[in-house]
C-alpha cells in the first residue's frame, strides 16, 4: 500500500513537470530578450514587428543579424537588440546601449 502511494505521487509530479514544460513550447515569448533563442525567426518578426535593420554577417558566418533599435541609428539606441539568425531559427541574442539594464546575452553570437 505504501509503495502504490509513492508511485502515484511520483506520477503526479511527472505530469505536473511535463505540463509546465509544455506551456513554454506552445506560447511565444513576450518582449525582447534571449527567450527567443531556438525559436523560429518568423515568430519573432510576427510578434515584435519588422526589424529596423537586417545585416548579413560576412563569410565564413552563415548568420544574419536582425537589429531592433527603437528607430534610432545603430550604435545610438538606448538599448539596441540584436538577434542572430541562422537559416530560419534565432540562434543568439545580444543587447547593448546606454541603459544600465541593457546587457543580456544568450545563445550563439559568433557563428
pLDDT in tens, 27-66: 778 889 999 999 999 999 999 999 999 999 998 888 999 9
- What nine digits make up the cell of 7? 508511485
What burial class does residue 21 get, using C-beta atoms within 10 Å of its C-beta: 0-12 exposed, 13-18 middle, 19+ buried?
Answer: exposed
The domain spans of the chain are 31-107
Q: What's the mean per-residue pLDDT of the chain?
A: 82
Nearest to 81 by CA among 48, 108, 111, 110: 48
Q: Which residues of 31-61 are buried (b: 16+ CB within 10 A; e: fewer)?
A: ebebbbbebebeebeeebeebbeeeeeeeee
Higher pLDDT, 27 or 80: 80
| pLDDT > 70: percent of the chain | 75
May I ask the CATH class of domain 31-107? alpha beta
> What is the reported pLDDT for 20?
47
Amino acid at each position: 500500500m505504501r509503495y502504490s502511494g509513492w508511485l502515484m505521487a511520483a506520477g503526479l509530479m511527472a505530469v505536473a513537470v511535463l505540463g509546465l514544460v509544455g506551456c513554454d513550447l506552445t506560447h511565444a515569448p513576450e518582449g525582447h530578450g534571449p527567450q527567443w533563442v531556438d525559436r523560429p525567426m518568423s515568430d519573432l518578426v510576427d510578434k515584435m514587428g519588422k526589424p529596423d535593420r537586417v545585416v548579413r554577417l560576412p563569410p565564413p558566418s552563415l548568420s544574419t543579424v536582425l537589429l531592433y533599435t527603437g528607430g534610432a541609428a545603430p550604435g545610438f539606441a538606448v538599448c539596441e537588440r540584436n538577434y542572430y539568425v541562422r537559416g530560419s531559427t534565432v540562434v543568439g541574442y545580444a543587447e547593448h546601449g546606454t541603459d544600465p539594464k541593457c546587457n543580456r546575452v544568450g545563445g550563439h553570437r559568433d557563428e
